């Protein structure tokens, strides 16, 4: 299935999603509340089989955060990017660690660095930073570290 057919299929399955144009891979924007059911469909639908979550990250735009998920089907060899805009003051989205095990690690990193809370994550705690860094979120653009004189 090429990108054109894949986009048609995705638009049928997820009518509330919007598509971004001009990229090599299909890029979709969704609401955070739609993410978990969408992820389950992307993984389980026989014509899609997105069985590999190979990147999960966050972008701080100062006004909001955007979660970015890169998915691949190792069977059909197609890739997509899913983006979801989060409220910066209460950044939360459902965990997909029960769907793709790799998300467990990546979600912990985003939680630690950006402060995004992944609802129903099995072990949401610091991954890299030492004790005492809880809630500091050093990759947010308003992070300040007076000891090392870092201000973004």
pLDDT of residue 5: 93
Q: Which residues contact 121 (CB under 8 A, 6 or more apart)?
A: 95, 97, 104, 107, 108, 111
pTM: 0.92
Is 148 within a domain? no
Is 19 within a domain? yes
pLDDT of residue 137: 93
pLDDT of residue 87: 97
Q: Which of 40, 105, 94 is nearest to 67 (CA)?
A: 94
Is 141 within a domain? no
Phi, psi (rounded to 5 degrees) for 129:
-70, 155
Residue with token string 């894949």:
6
A 10 A CB-CB count for 102 gives: 15
A 10 A CB-CB count for 90 gives: 8
Q: Can you give the CATH number for the domain in which 61 is found? A: 3.30.460.80
pLDDT of residue 149: 61
Mean pLDDT by groups of 10 residues along the chain of 152 residues = 90 96 93 98 97 97 97 96 97 98 96 97 93 90 72 56
Is 143 within a domain? no
What's the domain count of the chain? 1
Residue with token string 């995004």:
116
């Amino acid at each position: 299935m090429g990108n054109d057919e894949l986009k048609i299929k995705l638009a049928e399955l997820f009518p509330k999603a919007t598509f971004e144009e001009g990229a090599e891979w299909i890029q979709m924007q969704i609401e955070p509340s739609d993410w978990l059911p969408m992820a389950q469909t992307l993984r389980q639908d026989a014509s899609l089989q997105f069985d590999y979550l190979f990147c999960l990250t966050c972008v701080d735009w100062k006004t909001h955060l955007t979660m970015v998920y890169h998915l691949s089907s190792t069977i059909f060899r197609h890739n997509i990017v899913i983006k979801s805009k989060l409220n910066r003051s209460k950044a939360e989205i459902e965990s997909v660690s029960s769907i793709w095990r790799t998300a467990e690690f990546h979600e912990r990193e985003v939680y630690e660095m950006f402060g995004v809370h992944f609802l129903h994550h099995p072990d949401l705690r610091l991954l890299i930073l030492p004790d005492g860094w809880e809630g500091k979120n050093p990759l947010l653009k308003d992070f300040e570290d007076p000891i090392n004189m870092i201000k973004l």
